Amino acid sequence: MSYADWIFALHLLTAATLVGGFVMSWIVVVALRTADAPDATLSLNQVAMVGTVVIVVGLVGTIALGIWTAILRPELHPWHGWAIAAIVLWAIAAAAVLRSFVEYAKPVAKARELIASGLTAPALS
């Protein structure tokens, strides 16, 4: 395998990591919808923090190694239409992820506020 092949393989690995982080994120979102106590929300936040790190590593690795691959391979170029489209889609995904991080912080802040005030019992429906 050549050096360019290794960079491409790492690019694919970080892309798979990114997808795994997204799946983990959605699992946490679904679980948060059923969390009825502040302690449960804070426990899920610990899982979400792992997902956050995985997503950030995936985002950074995918864009960096993707551009690097396009530069290293003679048949590929970063200014080709597909590469520009991929970068635009990556930017949209990154913006959506940053927005989701802000939304993740809201239930966690509320849970910490409830625990600080002594309300740790499950919410009544």
Alpha-carbon gap, residue 28 to 120, rounded angstroms: 20
Rounded to a whole number of angstroms, the distance between the first and last alpha carbons of the chain is 59
Per residue of the chain (125 residues), what is the pLDDT tens digit? Answer: 899 899 999 999 999 999 999 999 889 888 888 888 888 888 888 888 999 999 999 999 999 999 899 888 888 877 888 888 989 999 998 999 889 888 888 888 888 888 888 877 666 55
Q: So what's the pLDDT on residue 13?
A: 97
Cα dihedral 86→87→88→94 (10° resolution):
110
Inter-residue contact 77 to 84 (CB < 8 Å): no
Q: So what's the pLDDT on residue 55?
A: 93
Q: So what's the pLDDT on residue 124?
A: 52
Amino acid identity at 113: E
Q: So what's the pLDDT on residue 116?
A: 87
Amino acid identity at 80: H
Q: So what's the pLDDT on residue 7?
A: 95
